[in-house]
Structure 1
Amino acid sequence: MNRRFWAAATILTLGGLLFGYDTGVINGALPSMTADLGLEARFEGIVTSALQLGAVFGAVFGGRIADRVGRHRTVVIVAAIFVVGSLGSVLSPSWVVLMLCRVVLGFAVGAASGIIPIYLAELAPAHLRSRVVNQNEFMVVFGQFLAFSFNALIAQIGGSEGSGTWRWMLALCLVPAIALWIGMTVVPESPRWLAGRGRIDDMLEALRTIREHVYGASHYESSIYSAEQRPDPHSDEITHPVSGDVETVRSMVDSGDPGSTHRFRDLFAERWMRRVMLIGFGMAVINQISGINVIQYYGVTILTDAGFEGNTAFTVNLMIGVAGVIGMLLSLYLNTKVRRRRMLMGGLTGTVLTLTLMGTVSMLVPDDVEAKKWVILTAIVAFVGIMQCAVGAMTWLFMSEIFPTRVRGEAMGLAAGVQWSMNFCVALFFPYLMDTIGFGPTVFIFVALQVIALVWVYRVVPETKGKSLETIEKEFRDALER
């Protein structure tokens, strides 16, 4: 891969940064927002979950649009919506207008969450796919860390409940949104999407912009080829090892009907496709039933209830952001060495243990014990690190890999829509559960769901490490024929 490939990957992951910042910023903005806009406690869940509601529709329709008009054009549209939604949120005169603007912003977040992982997966060769897709997940977590950091800084300057403090927190989102919009000028269209439309010449042109060799003339001159084996450097045949997976794309296009249309029900028409969609939906659910976004959205509130007062809650909340970043950095290293299923199952085991500790201490240790809040903080930090390293990273990676090329955008959009639907439910109902049964019992609901997820992964989920996207598709097809 050449420099333009890495530049394109970096620009696309700004969408992940926006995803992380927009979902994390509400964590620290709520106190100021509540004081400034007269936001009642019963409406906090509505304002927080408005983004997730918009993300459901963004994920579903974004995937359909990406399959029809292309990945590149769709991301440009999404970047523009990020700018408009962010600006509207900053200027909102009331909590109702803010809620509506966050729905618009959520549409962009949802679309980006579904499109960008598959865009990156389609640009990258098999040996780099986990590295590149997880780079996006790192940017999601880094965006959340930036949100926590800027929230803490702005709260120190303007006061956690100061007038207009929340507007400055939201305004910072405009910077990466504009950068993504402008940066898309150097990102090529997905070669696989072009091949799926029968546009082989355009596919080759896109490959030339991101790979050192497509025709590989200089490579063919190496001593590993005999004179008889050396292909014509002016031929349009792709035989360079780096481009080997692209030849598979071409053969699959030749056996199909490039540019053919499909209906929604076609995604579930065949038995093997139903299995793929089931696994994709399962991954989307697993990503949310850990309770990770309870920590991301209500972290300051949870820490305040645990005993951290005032701006101290904002400061210690940074430890959660740091844990997520460290977890994702560790994931970038481990996913090149450890199998996907093993890493996911290890992560689920870790989240079960840390959540159990968190819930047990919350329920059994008296509030006047000073060590209680520190044990809860330690459990939260460990939980977030494990979750981001081995569960969050793996579920999004699986979803970016398993869907067939021809319907990957729409299928990924549906899976991301399921993820955001669960996200919406968690964000909306967590405050009510906290008030009704308390933090500890609520945590044990997530523990039970994690145990179910662990069993499901063991029984159902296949291994995808080191395989091209087309090989994964073929194995799904062949598995039900044996």
Structure 2
Amino acid sequence: MGALAFGYDTGIIAGALPFMTLPAEQGGLGLNPVTEGLITASLIVGAAIGSLASGYLSDRFGRRTTLRTLAVLFVLGALGTAVAPSVTVMVAMRFVLGIAVGGGSATVPVFIAEIAGPKRRGRLVSRNELMIVSGQLMAYVLSAVLAYALQRNDIWRYMLAIAAVPGALLFIGTFFVPSSPHWLAAKGRIKDAKAVLERLRDTPEQAEKEANELHEHAKAAKHHPPVGELLHQGWVVKLLLIGVGLGFVIQFTGVNAFMYYTPIILKSTGMGTHAALAATIGNGVVSVLATLLGIWAIGRVGRRTLLMGGLSVVIVAQLALGSVLLLLPNDLTQSYLALACILVFLLFMQMCISPVYWLLMSELFPNQVRGLLTGVAVSMQWLFNALVAFAFPIALQWFGNATFYGFAALNVASLLFVCFCLPETRGKSLEQIEKYMKKEL
């Protein structure tokens, strides 16, 4: 539910923006390119702060308690955006909603990774990405259905209000899941951790083995340096830089330029508003199917291989989209070819890049500061997201469709970063990954 709310809240803006740009007397907010970017980016700036704060809170108070608090913000933020009378109020409420989205994005993958065993971790954490893209698909479908069914210019308010539903379900759901055994062990509550593992694992032997491993790790942690000193150790700093670099990789693919602005891109080719909203459903469908393929692949292929393969296709897709928009006349052929390029991009983005990013965010960092470092890395990812979301409509206004060539160049740099800097984590327990990173970095 946390991931579903994340997906819906980030995806629904694509359907709401065309109506919010209408003048106030026609039911909109009278947006221009700058205020479009500001409203879109305000959620993302909030998400950066939320992910950073939630990292500290989840380490101190637990993953489950943190998610329960974030669920309340999901509901308040969604209802606040639905009734916002002005751009100023909308920006403020999108910021509140962003705190919940960012906090959930940092906490949910870590929570799932810590309650999953090593063999299931990849597939289960990847289901987080499946729910994100399912939330985006839900947003696109509801946008198109509501626009066609109600034929009202203020329909964007209904679109935004629906976001309160997954937030409420998240709050309820937190009463039906156990605490993280890794967090319990880190707090010295070994018996409680073992009791949780006995509920979660297939056999008592598996639970006993993992509980012993957690116990040994907790005892060893007593001899670790304090958190402040640990954060200054070279291998931890390198891991954090890799995590921040991966945030750059996922956002400067340009994925959220498509997720937020596909209707506007398609309208530039001459497609009508309702047709563009309907076509955007293809984004959600392809993303869901691609994530299902990614869940299958992630248990069979290394993290590095998936990332490098995905980035290679993304580069080609961005170059193709820029060429279609620059070289072909504005007609139906251009519209469909542009949509095809976007869908190919999303197929490989959501199959090979996004699931691996969230999985790595749950794996890379040492247990003692996992919540904190995940929060820092994910908050930087959200800041990169905000930069892309704010700058994209302005870049289109200044540079036109050559903007997509710029994305392709940045993706070449990302491919080189993954090739030379990212270690492989497949097939290792979280404790084994920590030992491996400490040794290798």
Provide the TM-score with structure 2 as the length reference. 0.96
| Correspondence for 2:399 among 432, 437, 446 | 437
- Give the direction of change, closer, same or farther, for the CA distance of 1:260–1:61 in structure 2 (3 Å limit): farther
On the 8 A contact 1:345/1:457 being kept in 2, the answer is yes
Aligned residue among 361, 365, 379 for 1:399: 361
**3-state SS of 2:415 partner:** helix
Q: What's the CA shift string for 1:362-420, capped at 9, x where partnerless?
A: 1222325x422211110100101110110111111111101001100000000111100
Greater mean alpha carbon deviation, residues 269-278 or residues 106-115: 269-278
Q: Residue 150 and residue 261 in structure 1: after superposition, are their counterparts in 2 closer, same or farther (change >3 A)?
A: farther
Q: Would the aligned equivalents of 1:37 and 1:94 in 2 still touch at CA under 8 Å?
A: no
Identify, as 1 or 2, the structure richer in helix: 2
1:247 CA drift (Å): 2.8
How far apart in 1 are the matches of 2:12 and 2:223? Answer: 43
- Name the CA distance, whole Å, in 2 between partners of 1:94 and 1:427: 20
Residue correspondence of structure 1 range 51-200 to structure 2 within 5 A? 51-159=43-151, 162-200=152-190
C-alpha distance 350-267 of structure 1, shift in aligned 2 (>3 A): farther
Aligned-pair distance for 1:63? 0.5
* Structure 1 residue 258, shift from structure 2 partner: 8.9
Closer, same or farther: CA 184–62 of 1 in aligned 2, 3 Å = same
Q: How many residues align?
A: 436
Q: How does 1:182-261 map to 2 (within 5 A)?
A: 182-213=172-203, 216=204, 240-241=205-206, 244-257=209-222
Retained in 1: the 8 A contact 2:263–2:273? no
1:311 matched to which residue of 2?
274
Structure-1 separation of matches of 2:207 and 2:310 = 32
Deviations 1:205-232 (A, max 9, x none): 222332343xx2xxxxxxxxxxxxxxxx
SS of match in other structure, 2:268? helix
Residue identity matched to 1:429: A
Q: CA deviation at 1:267?
A: 5.4
Q: Quick one: distance in 2 between partners of 1:267 and 1:99?
A: 38
Distance in structure 2 (CA, Å) of the matches to 1:242 and 1:337: 25
**Post-superposition offset of 1:87:** 1.4
1:245 shift after superposition: 4.0
2:28–2:153 contact (8 Å) kept in structure 1: no
Deviation at 1:307, TM superposition (A): 2.4
| Equivalent residue in structure 2 for 1:409, among 371, 379, 389 | 371
Q: Which runs of 5+ in 1 are unaligned?
A: 1-13, 217-239
Within 1, Cα distance between the matches of 2:255 and 2:192?
41
Pairing partner for 2:10 from 23, 37, 54: 23
- Residue type matched to 1:251 in 2? E
Of all paired residues, the percent bearing the same amino acid is 37
CA distance change for structure 1 residues 366 and 330 in 2, over 3 Å: closer, same or farther? same
Which residue is 1:479 aligned to? 440
> Shift of the alpha carbon at 1:249?
2.1
What is the RMSD of the two structures over their aligned residues, measured on CA atoms? 1.6
- What CA distance in whole angstroms lies between the structure 2 residues aligned with 1:340 and 1:243? 29
Matches within 5 A, 1:373-388: 373-388=335-350
Runs of 4+ in 1 over 3 A off after TM superposition: 241-246, 258-261
Within 2, Cα distance between the matches of 1:267 and 1:371?
57
Which of 2, 9, 20 is the equivalent residue of 1:33? Answer: 20
Query: 1:198·1:259 contact (CA, 8 Å) conserved in 2?
Result: no
Structure 1: distance between partners of 2:174 and 2:223:
26
Aligned residue type for 1:25: I
Partner of 1:460 in structure 2?
A: 421
8 Å Cα contact 2:197/2:207 also seen in 1: no
TM-score in terms of structure 1 length: 0.88
User: Does the CA-based 8 Å contact 2:194-2:208 persist in structure 1?
Assistant: no
Unaligned runs of 5+ in 2: none
User: Is 1:350 aligned to 2:313, yes or no?
Assistant: yes
- In the alignment, the residues of structure 2 paired with residue 145 and residue 438 of structure 1 have an alpha-carbon distance, to the nearest angstrom, of 28
CA deviation digits over 1:151-203, x for unaligned, max 9?
000010223xx332011101111211111101111111100011011110111
From the superposition, tell whether residues 163 and 267 of structure 1 become closer, same or farther in structure 2 (CA, over 3 Å).
Answer: farther
Letter paired with 2:428: K
| Contact persistence 2:49–2:102 (CA under 8 A) | yes
* Aligned equivalents of 1:207, 1:18: Cα separation in 2: 28
What SS class does the counterpart of residue 396 from structure 2 fall into? helix
What is the CA-CA distance between 1:242 and the residue it aligns to?
Answer: 5.6
**How far does residue 86 in structure 1 lie from its aligned partner after superposition?**
1.0
Quick one: which amino acid aligns to residue 147 of structure 1?
A
CA distance in 1 between counterparts of 2:179 and 2:286 reads 34
